[in-house]
Amino acid sequence: MNLLRALAGWVMLRLLARFSRGSGRLPEDRPRIVAPQPPHPRAEGLAVGLLLLAAVSGVLFVVLYALEASTQLLGLALAGALLAIGVALVVLAKRVLPTEQLAEPFPEPDPEQADEVAQIVRESGDGLTRKKLLLAAGGAAGCALGAAAVAPALSLGPLLDTDPLYKTPWRRGVRLVDAHNEPVRADDIEPAAFYTAFPEGASKELLGAPLVVVRLAAADLRLPRERVGWAPGGILAFSKICTHAGCAVALYRSPLYDPTEPDPALVCPCHYSTFNPATGGEVIFGPAGRPLPQLPLMIGRDGVLRSAGDFSGPVGPSWSGVRSRRPT
């Protein structure tokens, strides 16, 4: 913290020396205030190298983030950039920049002493032999570190174009597969059981990829009129992403007796939003504000479940109404 304060003070002195009234160019025959400092080219070179290393580490962080690298690698890249900058500042403070110790309290600023302050600042930098190189290396490190800070913020979502929020990998004819990429057959879906499925050939990490698949008796279905043919053999598929806060719907309530639990239900374990699959995923309990999107299904000639289209509504939570359109 003291090092940062010293650096900030040096910057303020530079600005004061440049913009203060009446400072102008100082006479060359004016007696020195700061004792001459011997040059330290090796220390300056070390500081330049450390700042360039920090810049490389910052760029590496952005690259690793774009490649979706592990959190450990991202942490190492960011820690390397910060450590290199910190060591470079220590080297400059200990070996290059002059220091002065005063026993008495620091005097209040006096506008009449602006010229003297400007002379102190100018003479303090006499020992630097690679000023431009140091400034360029420091600027590169700062820009790279700034890019490393901005990259995660930009990935939070599109700034202007929200169309990517509505895209899903589901199209008519896409086969349902399990976590091992094995096709999900209609005959394998048992009543009172809970299954997870994904679109064949697409990334399982996509928001619109995971499904929950259940089977109900055809007589128990009360789907909306436009979805009558969406559940062949009583098999229903819904988005696995809860419409409240984006958690995974991971519980299936299969009633064992009436009237305590009259209907099967899909439950999100985060805040217990509960959805009725028999009625098309409508909310029957909890904070979710809209139904769980349903995916129309069909059974191929090979007995494998396939999608018959896209979801009935946008996938995921409805933050500030950004998901008010149908998926594409």
Give one DSSP letter per residue of 257-271, joined into a string. STTTS-S-EEE-TTT
- What is the rounded distance in angstroms from the CA atom of residue 263 to the CA atom of residue 276? 7
C-beta pairs of 151-155 under 8 Å, 24+ apart in sequence:
151/61, 151/62, 151/65, 151/66, 152/65, 155/65
- What is the rounded distance in angstroms from the CA atom of residue 100 to the CA atom of residue 109? 17
pLDDT of residue 195: 94
Query: Structure pTM?
Result: 0.56
- What is the rounded distance in angstroms from the CA atom of residue 326 to the CA atom of residue 131? 58
Note down pLDDT in tens along the chain; length 328 residues: 444 555 555 555 555 455 444 444 545 556 655 555 666 678 778 888 888 999 999 999 989 888 878 888 989 999 999 999 889 888 877 776 666 555 556 566 665 565 555 555 555 555 566 667 777 888 888 888 888 888 887 766 655 555 666 788 999 999 999 999 999 999 999 988 889 999 999 988 888 899 999 999 988 889 999 998 999 999 999 999 999 888 999 888 876 555 655 678 899 999 889 999 999 999 998 998 889 999 999 999 999 999 999 999 888 887 645 555 666 6
pLDDT of residue 123: 53
3-state secondary structure of 229: helix
3-state secondary structure of 298: strand
pLDDT of residue 207: 85
Q: How many CB atoms lie within 10 A of CB 55?
A: 23
Q: What tokens does 183 get?
A: 């096709």
Distance of CA 98 to the CA centre of its chain: 42
Q: How many CB atoms lie within 10 A of CB 201?
A: 10
R_g of the chain computed on alpha carbons:
33
| 141 close to 298: Cβ distance less than 8 angstroms | no
Cross-strand bridge partners of residue 196: 212
- What is the rounded distance in angstroms from the CA atom of residue 97 to the CA atom of residue 240? 60
Residues 197, 222, 188, 305: what is their CA dihedral angle, to the nearest 10 degrees?
-50
Q: What tokens does 193 get?
A: 């059981």
pLDDT of residue 241: 92
| 327 close to 167: Cβ distance less than 8 angstroms | yes
pLDDT of residue 185: 95
**Separation in Å, CA 88 to CA 41, 71, 76, 134:** 14, 26, 18, 10
| 146 close to 59: Cβ distance less than 8 angstroms | no
Burial (Cβ within 10 Å: 0-12, 13-18, ≥19) of residue 225? exposed
- What is the rounded distance in angstroms from the CA atom of residue 272 to the CA atom of residue 245? 11
Element (H, E) at 251: strand 251-253
Cross-strand bridge partners of residue 274: 267, 285
Q: Give the position of tokens 């374990």.
A: 269
Distance of CA 149 to the CA centre of its chain: 10
- What is the rounded distance in angstroms from the CA atom of residue 167 to the CA atom of residue 160? 16
